[in-house]
C-alpha cells in the first residue's frame, strides 16, 4: 500500500503522462489524417471483432518462423495480460486494504498467470535481443543496394529494438521482483512459482525494512516505466501492439488479396492521381507505417529481393515510418509536404521491379500492403510524371490500338483452327452455358494456344455448351492497371463490360485459363458495373470430374510438381482444384517447398512480362529461381495453370536444356481423357 505522499506523487505523474499521451497520439492521428480518403469504420462491431481476432492470432505469425513466432506469442500475450496486472497493482497500491481476491481461486489463478506470463515475456524478449544483437540473424538485415534512410542504415532499427526490448525487460522484470519481495515479506505463495524461487533463492536474508523498500521500489519502477513509455509509443516499433489490430480493423473490404481500387478520372477537381508524396497515399497506407514491426517477413518472400534487386517491401514501410518520425510535429501541424516518396522511401528501380505477386500482403502479421503503395507510385509515375520503362510503351500502344499488348493484328480465333470440332461464337451459340474467355495470351501466344485448345477439348468432351466472343474479345487491361496506366485499364474494362453484357455473360458463367483475366473480370470489373461469375479452368475441370461429366483414365502415374500462379493461389485462394485435376489425371504430386499461398512468383506479374527485368546483385532472374526449386523436386513434369507462368517456366526450362516437361494442367487432363464424351 502506498503512503499519502506516494499517492499524491502517483496522481501527479499520471496527469503528466496523460497530457503527454494525448499530445503524441494526437500527432499520430493528425499525420494519418493527412492521407487520402477515410479509414473504414462502417459495420463497426464486425470490424472490432476482426481487430480482436488479429490481436489474438497475432496476424497468424505462426505460419512462418515457428520458434520466433512462439516466442512472440509469449511476449505479446504476456504484455497484454500485464495491462490487467498493472491495473490491479495500482488499485492495490492506492486503496487501503484492497487485494484482488487473494484467497479466492480467481485471485490465485490471476497470480499464477501473472507469474508465468512474466517468465514467458522475459524469456521471449531475451531471445529477441540475443537474436538481433548476438546472433545477428541475417533475416533482420536489409541488403546494401536497397534504399534505406541514413538514420535507419546507421542503426535506427537496432536502437529502436533495444529501447523497446529493455523497456519490456525492465517493466516486467521489475513487477516480478516486486512480487518476489512481497513473497519474501509475507511468506511463500504456491501460486507464484517463479516469484517463490526468486524470493527463496536470493531474498531470504534481507531485513523486513529492506523487503518493504524492495517491494515499493520495484512497484514504482514497474508502474513508472509504463507512465514514462506510453507517450513515446507512437515513435517506436512497439506501436504495432495496437496499430496492427487497428490496421486489420480499418482496412477496406477487398474482393481478393491485392485488389486495386478505381480512380475517379472524371472528377476535374482532382489534380493528383497516384502517390507522389506521403499525403497522396490512402490513410490506411499511413497506418501501415505505424503498424510495421520491422520483422522483414515481407522482404523474406519478395521475388525481387530474393533475386538481388533493389526492392524490399520492409524497407519501404520502414522508410515511411522514419520519415514520419523525424517530421511528426511538422506534419501534424499541417506543414507542406513536397518530399517525393522516391526521394526517401523507395528507388525508381525498386518500383518497377515489383511483380505484384501479393506475398508481402499475405504474409504481413500487421496487415500492411506495401505492394499497393508501389501500385500507387506507379500510377503517379505513368499518369503524372510520364516516367516508366520504355518497353511498356509497346504494350500500352498495343492495348490501346489493337486490343492486345502483343500488338497482334491477326484474328483472335486462329488458336481454334487445329481443333477437330467447331468452336462456336456467341452469335452461333447464343444459349451457351459457359463463355470461354480466351485472353490475349490464349489468342496470340503459341504455348498458351495449346492450353486454350485443351480447355475447349475438355468442354467439348464433357458436353458443356460453350461459346467465345471471337474477335469481339479484347484485353482485360490487367497489365495496364498493374503498370500504373489506370485510364487505359478503365477504357478497356468499360468496353469489355459492354461486350460481355451484350453477350449476356452476366447471366451465364465465364471460364478462362488465365488467372489474371479470372481476377480482373471476376473481381475488379464489379467496381465499374460488370458483375460476372468467373471460373478458372482448373475449377471447372475439378467440378466436371467430380460430377462424372469427365472421365479420366488416371493411369499416367508420372511425377509432377505444380507451380501455383500468384493470381490463382495467393490472391484468390484457388489451391485444391488444380491439384485435384492433376490427381484425377493420374499424376503423383511432388510439392515444392514454396507452394500454395507461399508459392514463389514466376516473375511475369505486375506487367513485368512486357519489360526487361531489373538487374539484381545476384544476377539471377525470378523465373530461374523458381525453376531451380521445381527441378529440385525430381519431378518429370512442371505443371502450370497460367499462360504467363507457362512462358516463364518454359524459358527457364529451355535455358537448362529442357530436362522437364512444362505443361498446363488442362493439357495433362486431355492426355488422360479415356473417351471423348459428346454428351453427358
pLDDT at residue number 661: 97
Residues 250 and 48: beta-carbon distance below 8 Å = no
412 assigned to some structural domain: yes
129 assigned to some structural domain: yes
pLDDT along the chain (680 residues), means of 10: 88 95 96 97 96 95 94 96 95 90 92 97 97 96 96 91 96 97 94 96 92 95 94 92 96 96 95 97 98 97 98 98 96 93 98 98 97 98 97 97 96 96 97 98 97 97 97 98 98 98 98 98 98 98 95 84 98 98 95 98 98 96 98 98 98 97 97 56
pLDDT at residue number 675: 44
333 assigned to some structural domain: no
- Can you tell me whether residue 552 is helix, strand or coil? strand
Q: Which residue has 531474498 as its cell numbers?
A: 203
266 assigned to some structural domain: no
If one counts every other C-beta atom within 10 angstroms of the C-beta of residue 574, the result is 21
Rounded to the nearest 5 degrees, what angle is found at the Cα of 76, between the Cα atoms of 329 and 289? 30
How far apart (Å, rounded) are the C-alpha atoms in residues 360 and 381?
Answer: 22
What's the order of all strands across the beta sheet hosting 509-512? Answer: 466-467, 434-437, 509-512, 533-536
Any bridge partners for residue 511, and if so which? 436, 535
Q: Tally helices (H) and strands (E) across the chain.
A: 29, 8
Residue that finishes a domain, picked among 183, 200, 235: 235
pLDDT at residue number 205: 87
Count of domains for the chain? 2
Q: What's the distance, Cα to Cα, between the start and end of the chain in Å?
A: 83
If one counts every other C-beta atom within 10 angstroms of the C-beta of residue 180, the result is 27
Report pTM.
0.95
Domain encompassing residue 487: 393-671
Residue that finishes a domain, picked among 215, 235, 255: 235
Instruction: Select from 403, 431, 574 the least CA-distant residue to 505.
Output: 431
Any bridge partners for residue 467, and if so which? 435
- CB neighbour list of residue 308: distance below 8 Å, 6 or more residues apart: 143, 145, 616, 617, 618, 619, 620
pLDDT at residue number 555: 72
521 assigned to some structural domain: yes
Residue that finishes a domain, picked among 208, 235, 262: 235
- Can you tell me whether residue 510 is helix, strand or coil? strand
325 assigned to some structural domain: no
The number of residues making up the chain comes to: 680
pLDDT at residue number 674: 59
How far apart (Å, rounded) are the C-alpha atoms in residues 393 and 379?
Answer: 15
359 assigned to some structural domain: no
Structure-block grid coordinates of residue 319: 522508410
37 assigned to some structural domain: no
Amino acid at each position: 500500500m502506498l503512503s499519502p505522499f506516494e499517492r499524491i506523487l502517483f496522481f501527479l505523474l499520471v496527469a503528466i503522462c496523460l497530457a503527454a499521451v494525448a499530445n503524441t497520439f494526437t500527432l499520430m492521428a493528425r499525420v494519418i489524417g493527412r492521407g487520402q480518403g477515410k479509414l473504414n469504420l462502417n459495420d463497426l462491431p464486425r470490424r472490432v471483432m476482426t481487430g480482436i481476432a488479429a490481436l489474438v492470432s497475432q496476424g497468424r505469425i505462426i505460419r512462418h518462423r515457428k520458434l520466433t513466432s512462439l516466442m512472440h506469442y509469449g511476449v505479446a500475450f504476456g504484455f497484454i495480460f500485464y495491462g490487467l496486472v498493472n491495473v490491479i497493482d495500482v488499485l492495490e497500491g492506492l486503496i487501503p486494504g484492497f487485494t484482488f481476491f487473494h484467497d479466492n481461486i480467481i485471485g490465485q489463478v490471476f497470480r499464477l498467470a501473472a507469474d508465468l506470463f512474466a517468465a514467458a515475456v522475459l524469456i521471449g524478449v531475451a531471445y529477441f535481443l540475443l537474436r538481433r544483437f548476438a546472433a545477428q540473424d541475417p533475416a533482420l538485415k536489409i541488403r546494401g543496394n536497397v534504399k534505406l534512410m541514413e538514420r535507419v542504415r546507421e542503426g535506427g532499427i537496432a536502437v529502436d529494438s533495444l529501447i523497446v526490448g529493455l523497456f519490456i525487460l525492465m517493466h516486467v522484470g521489475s513487477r516480478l521482483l516486486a512480487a518476489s519481495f512481497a513473497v519474501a515479506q509475507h511468506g511463500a505463495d504456491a501460486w507464484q512459482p517463479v516469484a517463490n524461487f526468486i524470493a527463496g533463492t536470493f531474498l531470504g536474508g534481507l531485513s523486513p525494512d529492506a523487503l518493504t523498500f524492495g517491494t515499493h521500489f520495484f512497484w514504482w519502477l514497474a508502474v513508472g516505466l509504463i507512465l514514462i513509455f506510453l507517450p513515446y509509443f507512437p515513435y517506436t516499433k512497439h506501436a504495432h501492439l495496437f496499430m496492427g489490430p487497428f490496421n486489420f480493423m480499418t482496412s477496406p473490404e477487398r474482393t481478393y488479396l491485392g485488389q486495386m481500387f478505381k480512380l475517379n478520372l472524371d472528377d476535374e477537381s482532382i489534380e493528383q492521381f497516384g502517390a507522389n508524396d506521403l499525403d497522396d497515399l490512402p490513410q490506411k497506407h499511413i497506418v501501415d507505417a505505424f503498424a510495421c514491426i520491422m520483422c522483414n517477413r515481407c522482404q523474406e518472400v519478395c521475388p525481387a529481393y530474393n533475386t538481388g534487386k533493389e526492392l524490399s517491401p520492409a524497407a519501404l514501410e520502414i522508410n515511411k515510418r522514419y520519415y514520419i518520425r523525424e517530421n511528426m510535429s511538422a506534419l501534424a501541424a499541417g506543414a507542406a509536404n513536397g518530399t517525393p516518396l522516391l526521394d526517401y522511401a523507395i528507388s525508381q528501380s525498386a518500383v518497377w521491379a515489383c511483380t505484384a505477386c501479393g506475398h508481402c500482403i499475405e504474409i504481413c502479421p500487421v496487415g500492411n500492403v506495401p505492394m499497393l503503395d508501389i501500385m500507387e507510385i506507379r500510377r503517379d509515375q505513368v499518369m503524372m510524371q510520364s516516367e516508366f520503362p520504355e518497353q511498356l510503351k509497346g504494350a500500352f500502344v498495343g492495348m490501346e490500338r489493337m486490343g492486345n499488348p502483343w500488338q497482334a493484328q491477326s484474328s483472335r480465333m486462329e488458336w481454334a483452327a487445329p481443333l477437330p470440332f467447331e468452336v462456336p461464337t456467341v452469335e452461333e451459340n447464343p444459349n451457351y452455358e459457359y463463355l470461354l474467355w480466351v485472353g490475349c495470351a490464349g489468342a496470340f501466344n503459341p504455348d498458351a494456344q495449346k492450353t486454350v485448345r485443351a480447355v475447349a477439348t475438355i468442354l467439348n468432351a464433357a458436353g458443356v455448351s460453350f461459346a467465345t466472343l471471337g474477335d469481339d474479345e479484347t484485353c482485360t487491361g490487367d497489365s495496364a492497371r498493374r503498370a500504373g496506366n489506370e485510364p487505359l485499364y478503365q477504357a478497356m474494362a468499360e468496353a469489355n463490360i459492354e461486350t460481355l453484357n451484350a453477350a449476356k455473360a452476366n447471366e451465364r458463367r465465364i471460364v478462362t485459363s488465365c488467372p489474371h483475366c479470372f481476377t480482373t473480370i471476376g473481381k475488379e470489373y464489379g467496381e465499374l458495373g460488370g458483375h460476372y461469375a468467373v471460373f478458372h479452368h482448373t475449377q471447372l475441370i475439378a467440378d466436371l470430374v467430380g460430377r462424372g461429366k469427365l472421365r479420366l483414365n488416371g493411369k499416367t502415374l508420372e511425377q509432377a510438381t505444380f507451380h501455383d500462379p500468384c493470381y490463382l493461389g495467393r490472391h484468390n485462394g484457388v489451391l485444391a482444384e488444380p491439384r485435384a485435376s492433376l490427381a484425377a489425371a493420374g499424376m503423383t504430386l511432388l510439392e515444392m517447398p514454396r507452394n500454395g499461398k507461399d508459392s514463389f512468383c514466376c516473375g511475369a506479374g505486375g506487367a513485368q512480362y512486357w519489360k526487361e527485368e531489373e538487374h539484381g546483385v545476384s544476377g539471377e532472374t525470378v523465373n530461374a529461381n523458381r525453376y531451380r526449386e521445381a527441378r529440385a523436386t525430381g519431378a518429370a513434369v512442371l505443371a502450370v495453370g497460367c499462360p504467363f507462368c507457362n512462358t516463364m517456366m518454359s524459358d527457364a526450362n529451355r535455358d537448362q536444356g529442357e530436362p522437364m516437361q512444362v505443361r498446363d494442367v488442362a493439357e495433362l487432363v486431355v492426355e488422360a481423357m479415356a473417351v471423348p464424351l459428346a454428351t453427358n
